[in-house]
Amino acid sequence: MTGEGSNILAEGALAAPDRVRSRTDGGVYLDLRGLEIAPLEGIEDDRLSALARILRGLAFTAVDGAQSGHPGGSSSKAEMVLALLASGVLAFDPLRPKHPGRDRVVWSAGHCSPLFHALVSLVYECLRRHGVQVPEALREAITWPEDLARFRRYGGPSGHIESAIALADVCTGSSGHGLSAGLGLATLHHSCGLRTKVFVIGGDAESEEGMSYEARNLASKLGLDNLIVALDYNTFGIDGSIGEVLPVPYQGHWSAFGWNIIEVDGHHFRELVYAYRMAAAGFGNGRPTVILCHTLKGKHYGRLEGTADSHGTPLTHGEYAELMKPLGFEVSAEEGKTPENIATVLAALGAEEAEHLLRHLETARSRVADEPRLVEVLRAALPNRPLADYSTITRPEALPPELVFQEGDRVPTRRASEAWFAWAMQRCGFFWVGAGDLAKSILTGKAEEVYGLLSRENPLGRGIRFGIAEQNMAMMCVTMAGDTLPGGFRPMTAFASYGVFAVMMANAVRMGLISGEVNPRSRGFFILLAAHDGPETGEDGPTHHGLFWMSLYSAYPGIKVYKPLDANEAVEMLFHAASRRQPVAFSVVRPPVPVFKRGDGVPPAREAVNGAYVFKPYAGSGRRKLAVVVCGGQVMANVLAALPELERAADIKIVAVTSPELFEELRREDPRKAEAVFSDDERREALAFHNGWKGFLYPFLLPADYDRRGYGIDHFVRSGRPGEIYAAAGFDAAGIREKIAAHLRR
Please report the DSSP string for 459-475 in residue order.
Answer: TT--EEE--S-HHHHHH
Asked whether residue 655 carries a pLDDT value surpassing 70, the answer given is: yes
Tens-digit pLDDT profile for residues 10-44: 444 455 666 777 665 679 999 999 999 999 999 99
Query: Quick check: 297 and 307 in contact, CB under 8 A?
Result: yes
Mean predicted confidence (pLDDT) in 307-318 = 94
- What residues contact residue 611 under an 8 Å CB cut-off, 6+ apart? 657, 658, 659, 660, 661, 662, 663, 664, 665, 666
Which of helix, strand or coil describes residue 631? strand
Query: Quick check: 349 and 125 in contact, CB under 8 A?
Result: yes
Q: How many residues does the chain have?
A: 746
- Name which of 505, 556, 558 is nearest 530 in CA terms: 505
pLDDT at 11: 45
What's the helix, strand, coil split of the chain in %, to 5?
45, 15, 40
Domain at 4-265+272-369: CATH code: 3.40.50.970
Query: Quick check: 14 and 252 in contact, CB under 8 A?
Result: no
Mean predicted confidence (pLDDT) in 516-527 = 95
177 vs 6, higher pLDDT = 177
State how far the Cα of 547 lies from the Cα of 532, in Å rounded to an integer. 10
Asked whether residue 691 carries a pLDDT value surpassing 90, the answer given is: yes
Mean predicted confidence (pLDDT) in 214-218 = 96
Query: Quick check: 204 and 252 in contact, CB under 8 A?
Result: no
State how far the Cα of 132 lies from the Cα of 377, in Å rounded to an integer. 32
State how far the Cα of 477 lies from the Cα of 463, in Å rounded to an integer. 12
Tens-digit pLDDT profile for residues 579-603: 999 999 999 999 999 999 999 889 9
Tens-digit pLDDT profile for residues 234-288: 999 989 998 899 887 899 999 999 999 999 999 999 999 999 999 999 999 999 9
Say which amino acid occupies 145.
P
State phi, psi for 292 to the nearest 5 degrees. Answer: -80, 110
pLDDT at 284: 93
4-265+272-369 and 606-745: identical CATH topology: yes
Tens-digit pLDDT profile for residues 416-471: 999 999 999 999 999 999 999 999 999 999 999 999 999 999 999 999 999 999 99
Beta-carbon count within 10 A of 494 CB: 26
- Name which of 295, 291, 328, 331 is nearest 315 in CA terms: 331
Asked whether residue 302 carries a pLDDT value surpassing 60, the answer given is: yes
Query: Quick check: 723 and 537 in contact, CB under 8 A?
Result: no
Handedness of CA 531, 533, 537, 540 (dihedral sign): positive
Give me the residues paired with residue 509 across strands: none
Tens-digit pLDDT profile for residues 702-743: 887 878 899 999 999 999 999 999 999 999 999 999 999 999
Q: Are strands 410-411 and 593-594 parallel, antiparallel or unpaired?
A: antiparallel
State how far the Cα of 20 lies from the Cα of 29, in Å rounded to an integer. 6
**Dihedral (Cα; 37, 40, 43, 46), 10-degree rounding:** 40
pLDDT at 708: 87
pLDDT at 19: 74
Residue 746 pLDDT class (50, 70, 90 cuts): confident
Q: How far is CA 146 from the centre of its chain?
A: 31
pLDDT at 66: 96
- Average pLDDT over the chain reads 94
Residue 6 pLDDT class (50, 70, 90 cuts): low
- Alpha-helical regions (H) of 12-94: 45-66, 71-76, 78-86
Burial of 291 (0-12, 13-18, 19+ CB in 10 A): buried
Mean predicted confidence (pLDDT) in 543-564 = 95
Domain 606-745 falls in which CATH fold?
Answer: Rossmann fold (3.40.50)
pLDDT at 12: 42
pLDDT at 5: 56
Tens-digit pLDDT profile for residues 78-96: 999 999 999 999 999 999 9
pLDDT at 13: 43
Q: Give the whole-number percent of the chain exceeding pLDDT 90.
A: 91
Domain boundaries of the chain, sorted by first residue: 4-265+272-369, 390-593, 606-745
Find out if CATH 3.40.50.970 is the number for domain 390-593: yes
